[in-house]
Structure 1
Amino acid sequence: MTLHTRVTLRPTMLSDLDFVVGVEQDAANRPFITPWERTQHEGAVRFPDARHFIVELDATSAGFVILQGCRSPNRSVELKRIVLLPKGLGVGRACVRKLKTLAFAQLGAHRFWLDVKGRNEHARQLYVSEGFVEEGRLRESVRIEGEVGPEGAEVFDDLIVMSLLRREFESRQAQGREPS
C-alpha cells in the first residue's frame, strides 16, 4: 500500500473543528499560516463555494485542507490552506496530488492556485516539484506575529502566488508524473 492510497480526504464535519483549530495552533504550523477563528472554519464547511476536508493517514486525522472558488465562473480554484501535523512523512505531497486531481477532474478547474509565505521554503519547494509555477510575490504583505526586528520594528513576510494550469497538469499526466 503506497502513501498515496493511505492518505485520504473526507469532508470536514462541525464536530471536527476542535481538531482543526488545534492543528492551526500547533507551534510547528503557526509560523506558516494565519490562523482562523472557529467561525471562519464553520463558514468554510457550510459555504457552497468552498470545500473543507480532513486529511487522514490510515484513517487517523492528520490535518486539514480548504479549497475556495469551487464554483468560480473563471474556473480558478484556490488551495486556501493545507495544515498537517505529521511532518516529513510525505503526507503533504500525497495530499497536494489528491487536491490537484480533485481540482481539475472533479471541480473542472482551469487554474489551481495558492499563496505561500516566503519563509516557508519547504512548502514552496514541494509546490514547485508538483508543477506549480511562481506568478508573483506580494512583498512584505503579512505581519509575523510575535517577532520583532531591529529597534523594535514589526517584521513582515512575503506571500508568493503560485499556480498550475489544466494544460500543465495534463502534460504532467501524459509524462507519467501524476499518480493515477
Structure 2
Amino acid sequence: MSSPAERIHLRPTLLSDLDYVITVENDAQNLPFITPWERTQHEGAVRFPDFRHFIVEAGVEYEPSGFVILQGCRNNHKSVELKRLVLQTKGRGRGRACVRLLKQMAFRDLGAHRFWLDVKTLNTRAQRLYQSEGFVEEGRLRESVRAGDGYDSLIVMSMLDREYQARTALGQELG
C-alpha cells in the first residue's frame, strides 16, 4: 500500500472546477472552520498570478478530495500564505501530505522566506497538524471572525525558510 504522500496530487484549479470547490467549502463539516468565499473570489484566485489555487486529488484514481489556496506567491517580502486547505475526507493523512507538498512548493518553488497561515481556535485538529509539521505560533487575533452567534479568534502560525531547511536536513520534510 502506498503512503499518503504518494496518493496526493495538486492540480491547478480550472474555472470548471469551481462548482466542486464551492460544494466542498460549504459542506457542513467544513463550515465551522472556514469563512466561505463567493464564487467571484475563487475565480479571482484562479486567474490572479499572486495566488495558486489547486484541486487536491487523492487515491489510486486521483479523485478530487478537496482544494487549497496559496496567496502572496509574488510577494516582494517572500511571505507566502496558506490561505485555505479544505478536504472532504478527514483522518486519512491527506491533510499532512498536502501540508508537506505545500511547504515544499512555498520554499523550494516559490522561494518563500516565510510560509504562514491562520487557523481558528476551535480547529484544534488543524492546530495539532500544523504544530507537528513545524509551524510556530506567532500570536492571536482575538475574536476576529464571526462564529455562530459569537466570535472566534485566529491563531497565526508560520515557518521560516531556515526552519524548513533544518527539518529537511533531519529528514522531516519531502526534500
Query: Which TM-score applies when normalising by structure 1?
Result: 0.94
Quick one: which of 144, 162, 168 aligns to 2:163? 168
Q: Which residue of 2 aligns with 1:9?
A: 10
Q: 1:109 aligns with which of 106, 109, 112?
A: 112
Give me the whole-angstrom Cα distance separating, in 1, the residues matched to 2:126 and 2:89: 14
What are the within-5 Å matches in structure 2 for residues 1-80 of structure 1? 1-58=2-59, 59-80=62-83
Please state whether the residue corresponding to 1:31 is helix, strand or coil: helix
Residues 112-133 of structure 1, C-alpha deviations (whole Å, 9 max, x = no match): 0000001000000100000000
Are 1:88 and 2:91 counterparts?
A: yes
Letter in 2 for 1:179: L
The answer on 1:123 being equivalent to 2:126 is yes
- Determine the C-alpha separation between the residues in 2 that align with 1:78 and 1:8: 20
Computed over aligned residues only, the root mean square deviation of the Cα atoms, in angstroms, reads 0.7
- Structure-2 residue corresponding to 1:158: 153
What is the rounded CA distance, in whole Å, between the counterparts of 1:13 and 1:143 in structure 2? 30
SS of 1:168 mapped into structure 2:
helix
Secondary structure in structure 1 of the residue aligned to 2:95: helix
Q: Which amino acid in structure 2 is aligned with residue 33 of structure 1?
A: I
Provide structure 2 residue ranges, at least 5 long, that are not aligned to the other structure: none
Alpha-carbon offset, residue 138 of structure 1: 0.3
* SS, match of residue 169 in structure 1: helix
In the alignment, structure 1 segments of 5+ residues that lack a partner are 149-154
Q: Tell me, yes or no, if the aligned pair for 2:137 and 2:158 is still in contact at 8 Å.
A: yes
- The CA deviation string for residues 63-107 of structure 1, in whole angstroms up to 9 with x for no partner, is 000000000010000000000001110100000000000000000
With normalisation by structure 2, the TM-score equals 0.97
> Kindly, what percent of the aligned residue pairs are identical?
66
Contact kept, 8 Å, 2:104 with 2:174, in 1: the verdict is no
* 4+ runs deviating over 6 angstroms: none
Distance in 2 of aligned mates of 1:164 and 1:156:
27
Name the CA distance, whole Å, in 1 between partners of 2:8 and 2:172: 18
**C-alpha displacement at 1:179, in angstroms?**
2.4
Q: How many residues align?
A: 172
